[in-house]
Structure formats: C-alpha cells, structure tokens
Amino acid sequence: MSATGTINAGYLETLLAGQPQLPTSPLAWLNALRAEAVDRVGVLTVPTLRDEEWRFTDISLLTKMPFHPVRTTISLQAADIEHFYIEEAATRLVFVDGVYAPQLSSGIAGSGVTVVNLEAGFAAHAATIEPYLGRLTEFRDNVFAALNTAFLHDAALIVVPRDISVTVPVHLLFIATQKDVVSYPRCLLLAESGSAVTVIEDYVSLQEDAYFTNAVAEIALLDNARVNHIRVQREGAKAFHIANCAVSLARASNYQSVSVAFGARISRYNLNVQLAEEAECAVDGLALISGRQLADTHTCIDHAKPHAVSHQMHKCIVGGGAHAVFNGKIMVRQGAQRTDSRQSSRNLLLTNKAHVDTKPQLEIFADDVKCTHGATIGQLDSEEVFYLQSRGLSDTAARNMLTYAFGAEIIERIPISSLKCQLEQTVLEQTATQL
Amino acid sequence: MIYPDSKIVLEVRGLCATVNGTEILKGLDLTVRRGEVHAIMGPNGSGKSTFSKILAGHSAYEVTGGSVMFEGQNLFDLAPEERARAGVFLAFQYPIEIPGVINSQFLRLTYNTVQTHRGKEELDPLEFDDYVREKMKLLEMSPDFLERSVNEGFSGGEKKRNEILQMAMLDPRLAILDETDSGLDIDALRIVANGVNQLANKDNAIVLVTHYQRLLNYIVPDYVHVMEAGRIIKTGGKELALELESRGYDWVGVEHKAVARAVA
Ligand SMILES: Nc1ncnc2c1ncn2[C@@H]1O[C@H](COP(=O)(O)OP(=O)(O)O)[C@@H](O)[C@H]1O
Ligand SMILES: [Mg+2]
C-alpha cells in the first residue's frame, strides 16, 4: 500500500504542477472551491484494482504516462472541425484541449437562455450557480473529480430560465489536439423550473497519440424541468477518458440520457442520478469497443424520494480482445415508496477473447417498490443468422446486420436525427471491420 | 398444375438425416417438377419441418444418406444463402423475431442481394418502396409493418403474411411453406392462399407442409404425400387429403406396413 501510495503521490503531484498558474477568480467561493480540491488531491490516491469500485478496471497504465496540462493552445480554423458539427445544433461551445475557443463557438448570452464559457456567466449568474458548481459532484471522495475541480477555469455553462423551452440542441464540443496533454472539460447545466433543453456533450480528437481527458459534468433539474442529455465519447484510440457526471432531479422533473462510448484505450464513465418525488429518468448506454479497448460504465441511480421512475438499458458490443465493464447500482432509500425502477444490461461478445463484466447492484430499503433488473451476455443468435442467410444474405452480412441492430436500439433513442445517422454509420463501419 | 415434360426442380432420393444423433429422416423420396403444387401431410413429429429446414440448409441437421438435386445441381454443395439466391425459399413454421432489424431495410437488402446474384438490377430505396408496397397489397398488409422490426410483436398470422411477402419479393423457383396455415383465421387464410396462388406459375413449384386439409381448399395440390416417421409412405391426388381429413393418418401406416410385408 505504501509503495503504491508513494507512486500515486508523485503522479498526482506532477498532475497538479500547472495548477498554481491558474488566474485567480473574482469569486472568492470559486477560489476556495479550487483550494479545497487541491487539498483533497493531496489526501486521495489513484484507485487500483483493490478498490471495490475499480476492481475490473486497471488504470495503472495511466499513472505511467507523462501527462501535463496544456501549455500552448493550438488555434484551429472552423474548417478543421466542421466535420464534427451537428446540423441541428446551431448553439455550440468549443473547447480545444480543455481551453475555451471563442472564435469557434456560437453561444447565447444576454437575457433568456445562457450558453457561455463560465467566466462570461459570472456577472449575471454567480449567485445562481454557486449552490451547484462543485456541489453536485462528490469531488471530496473522488480523485479525478477533485483534480478537475482543482483546475476549474474554463467550463460550459448553460442556464435555462424558468418555463423556457430551448428548441435548438446545444452542442458542447471537446476537441483533443495535443499528445501527452491532460485536459479538464467541465459542464454545468442548470434547468430551472418548467424549462426544457437538449444538450450534446461530445468528446472528439484530431490526433491519434495518447492524451488524457478528465471531465466533470453537473446537471441540475429544478421542478418539472426536462433535460435530454446525449453524451458521445469518440476519443482517439490511445486516449484515456475518465468522466464523472452528477445529475440532480427535483420534483417531477425528467432526465433522458443516451451515452455512447466508441473511443479511447481506457474509458471510465461514472454517472450518478438522484431523483426526488415523481421525477423520471431514462438512462441508456452503448459501448462499442474492439482491439484492446476497455470501456467501463458505473452508474448509480438514487431513488431518494417516493414515486420516482427510472429506466435503464445498457448495452455493450465487444470485439477483439476488448473488455467492457458495467456496474449499475440502483439505490432505493427508506421511504422511497412506489419506486418504479427497471434496469437491463445486454452484452454481445463478438469473439472468444472479448470480455465483459456486468454487475447489477440493487440496494433497496423500502418495501412498496417495483424493481426489475436483468443481464444477458451472449453471442449472436444462430437462428437469427440462419433466418437472414435463408433470405440470401451471406454469413458476414447477416452478422453485420444483427450486430448493427443490437447497437441501433440505443442509438435510435437519440432525438437528433443527423447525430443519430452519423452514429449509426459509425456502428455500421465498426461492426463491418470487426467481423 | 401438372405440365407434360416439365423440368424437375427437386429430386430427393433416400434422404436420411439426424439431429443430435437421433435419426429423423429415414429414406425420404420426392420428385417435384416445375408448375406443380405438392402437399406434404403427416402427424406432428413425423419430420416435416426437419425436411424443410434441411432443404434451406440449417446446420443443426446432419445429412447421413441419400441425395437432393435442385435444378440439376447437388443442393448440399450450396451454402444456405446460395440456395436462397438460386431460388430455394422456406416460409418458416415459426418465423423468428429480430429486434432492431427494420423490416423495410431487411427486405430491401435481401431483395437487392438476391437480384444482384441473379444478374438483375437493384432497386434504390424509393423504387423499392413502391415495389414492396405493391406486393403488400397482394397480402392486404398495412405499410406500417415496413417500419417495424422484423416480426417483432407481430401476431402469428402477421408473421406468416410477412413470410409470404418475402416469398413474393424473392421470386423463388421452389417455395416450401411450412405450416403457413397454422395460426391464421379464415379471412387471413384466404388472403394468404390467394397471394400464394397468384405467385404460382408454370416455372416454379410449391411444397405445402401442413397437417390440416383446410389450406388445400384454397391452394389445390397436384399431389398429396403422407409422411410418417421420416418417410413418405403414400402419395395420391387432392382427394387423398379429404380422405385423411375424414379418416385420420393411422390407416395409411397400417396399409403401408401391410404392403411392406406383402413385398417381403
Ligand atoms: N433441433 C432438434 N433437436 C432435437 N430434436 C429435434 C430437433 N428438431 C426436430 N427434432 C425432433 O425431430 C422430430 C421431427 O420433428 P419435426 O421435423 O419438427 O416434425 P413435424 O414438423 O413433422 O412436426 C420430432 O421428434 C422432434 O422432436
Ligand atoms: Mg413442423
């Protein structure tokens, strides 16, 4: 333990190296928040396989990589990144290696809806965001969230005022351009009472060398708010991607999320959703990986209050010698009666070397609840393959079609048609090359 | 319809097959010529579906003896998809559901694949849409079925219609319809039978597998075969089906054994 502790300490120290250079914020509470996060990094260690929450996911490789905060920002032209744009999403914030790129962004400021880089939102919203920023995420116990918070500077801020429905989706585009760089993407979304918004959180890369994305998103839905959250992790093949997302649902609010993971050498996504009375969430995920990739999704859906509904479908398509992990915790607290919770984990292994660890974890402390869960791990159904062959499709074409369909069930739930088509195309191409 | 000097589509000689080591087909003989409609009747478990699936190339069954020639070539030289492209079509007794595969995409891909292998033109999505809707009218199917996953949540009768729709699209030389009548109410039966009759012509052949005579009121067979314990033990004309309806199957077996004894 002490040996690992020392390695970790050295590693974390290196990661913190650039932190003191951050400009001081005009907001005292923000400076205090960062300082506290720095302290927590000093206390916490990098998790290992001995930690229950990390027992399937070995990130020791990460600690051997010489990642450093971005030193010089690369200036990109729109032409370099246009292919990432999503037709329907005219409102866009772009961050290059974690740094806000105003020339590439088209946010919204002024009265009404706010979609800006954090600093630009201080004047109007400092008091509004204080109870949420850094408060929804439990960075005190999570070294990666603590690191991100220590570096909290540029961040996507979305505030949707009471009863406003934003019809155009908001695209948050995080682009990695430099090797060996660690970036700290950050989002805060505040959907006030009765408001509605769709947000796409999108991680992409313009290079194939190793880098590290350590992201944090915080989403607060006040009473009756509706949020559609689409998360696309399409990082470079050698990337490390670790992300924490905390979502808090107030009374009768509704959170729909679809998260897809295609990229990165090692990725880990922690999603924590807390539900108040009559709140509803649908939390769906798809990991499509191959080669030596590892994709780990840990979710915790916390039924803190009665009469809330949660539906979750998580799928993994695992090829090559890849490894997928899903840990889905459903917590039903005492007094959370009439909870309705459904969870399903479905996994498709395309090769003998592909591997998946899936673990539903139900912790139920109320008696009048309806909770179902199920997990399947399997190969393609040979009767389905035969049916397609009997109609003239080759074995390969039949398998492609079935693999694609398996993934498409999740992609179909994305409410933005151009993104849906784009991702379906990715699934099609990836399955075709793997079979 | 029986045509003089019509070419042989399917010639089965002494076919024997096992599944998981159990012998199911025990020397089956059958000759089918272009233009003909054959009915294979027989009690449950006699091996009708096994025979059908072997013709389509299902890998669960092991052929242990005999031969099957299709249009002059050894059927067992062909992979399942090659048989389909060459014109073998099986309407399954239990069509499976394929969640996530959209019916229209599935139909178009199979249609275009088969067309390409037959040296014919593919259809683009718009042309295909017109074509498939035309065929659906024949079966009185709502176009809504195009947007649903293949067979998913379809009723028994809807699945059977979807099978015949695929038959209509793929234009087979030999169609084997395995219990296509089961699960159909009388109206659906008439519609499906009507569809099949419209697809039958002098260049293709149809094998109807059923254990009820009912279907044969609508699709009139040229030959009726009785299958028992993995063999065809009697062949007659369409009257045989009526006789089976009124007398059951037992007498056929008794008669067959008596004949076998007499010969021995
Ligand atoms: N996959 C299989 N595994 C084991 N037994 C089978 C399988 N398929 C068919 N059989 C057996 O073969 C026999 C014939 O079945 P089948 O061909 O379905 O008959 P039919 O269609 O005439 O009712 C039955 O006894 C059945 O149980
Ligand atoms: Mg049968």
pLDDT class for B202, splitting at 50, 70, 90?
very high
Which residue's alpha carbon is nearest to atom 10 within ligand 1?
Answer: B19
Query: How many whole angstroms separate alpha carbon A192 and alpha carbon A163?
Result: 7
Task: Give residues (CB < 6 A) around ligand 1.
Answer: B 19-20, 24, 42, 44-50, 60
Residues of A in contact with B79 (CB under 8 A): 389, 395
State the Cα–Cα distance between residues B257 and B233, nearest whole angstrom: 9
Which segments of A14-136 are extended strands (E)?
A: 68-69, 91-96, 99-100, 114-117
The domain defined by B8-263 folds into Rossmann fold (3.40.50)
Tokens of B7: 């070419």
Amino acid at site A61: L
Shortest CA distance to A197 belongs to which of A162, A227, A232, A157?
A: A227
pLDDT at A2: 39
Question: pTM, whole model, 2 decimals?
Answer: 0.86
The full DSSP string for A178-235 is STTEEE--EEEEEE-TT-EEEEEEEEEES--S--EEEEEEEEEE-TT-EEEEEEEE--
Q: Tens of pLDDT along A188-208?
A: 999 999 999 999 999 999 999
pLDDT in tens, chain A (435 residues): 334 444 566 788 888 988 888 899 999 999 999 999 999 999 999 999 999 999 999 999 999 988 999 988 888 999 999 999 999 999 999 999 999 999 999 999 876 899 999 999 988 899 999 999 999 999 999 999 999 999 999 999 999 999 999 999 999 999 999 999 999 999 999 999 999 999 999 999 999 999 999 999 999 999 999 999 999 999 999 999 999 999 999 999 999 999 999 999 999 999 999 999 999 999 999 999 999 999 999 999 999 999 999 999 999 999 999 999 999 999 999 999 999 999 999 999 999 999 999 999 999 999 999 999 999 999 999 999 999 999 999 999 999 999 999 999 899 999 999 999 999 888 888 877 665
Name the β-bridge partners of A195. Answer: none
Whole-angstrom Cα distance, residue A298 to residue A288?
A: 16
Q: What is the pLDDT of residue A14?
A: 86
DSSP classification of residue A74: P
Contact B90 A390 (CB under 8 A): yes
pLDDT at B176: 98
Q: What number is the ipTM of this complex?
A: 0.96
C-alpha of B167 from chain center: 10
State pLDDT tens for residues B55-109.
Answer: 999 999 999 999 999 999 999 999 999 999 999 999 999 999 998 899 999 999 9
Q: How far is CA A5 from CA A11, A12, A48, in A?
A: 10, 10, 10
Residues whose CB falls within 8 Å of the CB of residue A4, separated by 6 or more in sequence, listed in order: A45, A48
Please state the atom number of ligand 1 nearest to the C-alpha of residue B42: 22
Q: Are B98 and A394 within 8 A, CB to CB?
A: no
pLDDT tens for residues A151-184? 999 999 999 999 999 999 999 999 999 999 999 9
Strand-pair category, B22-33 with B8-19: antiparallel
Which of the ligands is closest to the CA of residue B45?
A: 1
CB B225 within 8 A of CB B30: yes
For ligand 2, a single-atom ion, which residues have Cβ within 5 Å?
Answer: B 48-49, 93
Q: Are A284 and A309 in contact (CB under 8 A)?
A: no
CB-based contact A393 B110, cutoff 8 Å: yes
Report the nearest atom of ligand 1 relative to the CA of B51. Answer: 17
- Residue ranges of the domains in chain A? 6-276, 382-435
Mean pLDDT value across residues B114-123 = 95
Contact between residue A285 and residue A315 where contact means Cβ atoms under 8 Å apart: yes
Q: How many CB pairs under 8 A join A and B?
A: 71
Give the closest-approach CA distance of A357 to chain B in angstroms: 24
